[in-house]
């Protein structure tokens, strides 16, 4: 992947959540290609530091000191890639979403607008709810208002999307470039610290490798067979490629779906993991927890028409190739 050349040698790029899953992959790639990268994250006592251990970072800052740090370095910050978030779809404390997903993102939006700095932030396919309103990112304020997220996580991302589109539509101050990225089902390196929120690829890998039986949720919708629920699974390397492309094209702003544009079943996913490790998995179907049934998406698929129209021509990994590439690194 080529270096991002739209920044000068002294420019700083801040990656929030930069030791987390998607954020660390972005930070490592930007640093690898010569960027001066500043990671903002909490490391605590786990192994998250390993996600960025190989990167030559310019600085590391704590989230509670981010805004003060930005004020001190405002002349050198060229872009903020905001991947930090509360990402648990089962989190019950909505105040955590308000503080971590809404308030911080809008504070960064205001700061970037005031200082003419690029802001790329993580939204989510969870904003589309059950998909009944479609998966198009070609949304006006009225179109966004028709979406109904199924959980507080999706709502927190959706509220920010609505706010920034409203600002842009009304001609209010915006960052010099801005992009809200509606990530679909991302998998890949550096996600083991996420626990229950790891991708299914990562969860299934040790099970399939050991020859044990894979458990998938039953379907509670007669339109979908057990294991036939569909998702747009996207390899994290493709997410990084989209972010780097956007940073290379400061003239492009807006909401963008980040998926492959192809929906695959959970049975397909199990088969891809099996092929990658050389086992043929056995599958059994189990009851879905009650708290998930009311907010479960049976189908997601990114409409990437807008991304393509804006000029992104990168080829996305197929499910099989992405899983093979990822799990090959773990073998």
* Residues with active-site annotation: 153, 194
Phi and psi dihedrals of 318, rounded to 5? -70, 165
Inter-CA distances, 46 with 43, 89, 90, 191, 192, Å: 7, 22, 22, 13, 11
Inter-CA distances, 59 with 129, 174, 266, Å: 38, 26, 40
Closest CA to 201 of 187, 218, 191, 190: 187
Please tell me the number of Cα atoms within 13 Å of 40 on its side-chain side: 21
CA distance 116 to 173: 10
* Cβ–Cβ under 8 Å, residues 126 and 157: yes
DSSP string, 144-162: HHT---SSHHHHHHHHHHH
Q: How far is CA 34 from the centre of its chain?
A: 23
CA distance 205 to 211: 10
* Cβ–Cβ under 8 Å, residues 91 and 149: no
CA distance 270 to 208: 8
* Cβ–Cβ under 8 Å, residues 227 and 267: yes
CA distance 104 to 121: 11
């Amino acid at each position: 992947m080529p270096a991002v050349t739209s920044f000068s040698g002294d420019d700083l790029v801040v990656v929030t959540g930069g030791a987390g899953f998607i954020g660390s992959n972005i930070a490592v790639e930007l640093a690898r290609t010569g960027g001066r990268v500043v990671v903002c994250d909490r490391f605590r006592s786990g192994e998250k530091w390993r996600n960025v251990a190989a990167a030559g970072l310019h600085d590391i800052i704590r989230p509670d000191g981010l805004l003060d740090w930005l004020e001190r370095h405002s002349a050198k910050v060229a872009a903020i890639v905001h991947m930090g978030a509360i990402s648990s779809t089962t989190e019950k404390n909505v105040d955590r979403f308000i503080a971590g997903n809404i308030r911080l993102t809008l504070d960064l939006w205001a700061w970037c607008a005031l200082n003419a700095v690029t802001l790329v932030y993580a939204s989510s396919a969870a904003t589309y709810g059950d998909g009944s309103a479609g998966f198009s990112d070609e949304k006006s304020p009225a179109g966004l208002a028709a979406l109904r997220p199924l959980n507080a996580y999706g709502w927190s991302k959706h509220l920010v999307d609505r706010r920034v589109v409203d600002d842009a539509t009304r001609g209010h101050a915006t960052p010099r470039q801005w992009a809200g990225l509606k990530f679909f089902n991302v998998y890949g390196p550096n996600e083991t610290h996420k626990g229950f929120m790891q991708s299914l690829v990562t969860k299934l890998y040790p099970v399939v490798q050991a020859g044990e039986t894979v458990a998938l949720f039953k379907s509670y919708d007669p339109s979908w067979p057990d294991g036939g629920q569909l998702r747009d699974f996207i390899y994290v390397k493709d997410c990084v490629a989209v972010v780097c492309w956007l940073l290379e094209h400061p003239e492009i702003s807006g909401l963008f779906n980040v998926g492959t544009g192809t929906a695959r079943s959970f049975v397909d996913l199990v088969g891809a993991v099996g092929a990658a490790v050389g086992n043929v998995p056995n599958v059994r179907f189990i009851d879905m927890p009650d708290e998930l049934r009311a907010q479960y998406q049976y189908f997601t698929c990114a409409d990437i028409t807008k991304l393509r129209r804006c000029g992104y021509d990168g080829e996305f990994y197929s499910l099989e190739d992405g899983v093979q590439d990822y799990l090959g690194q773990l073998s």
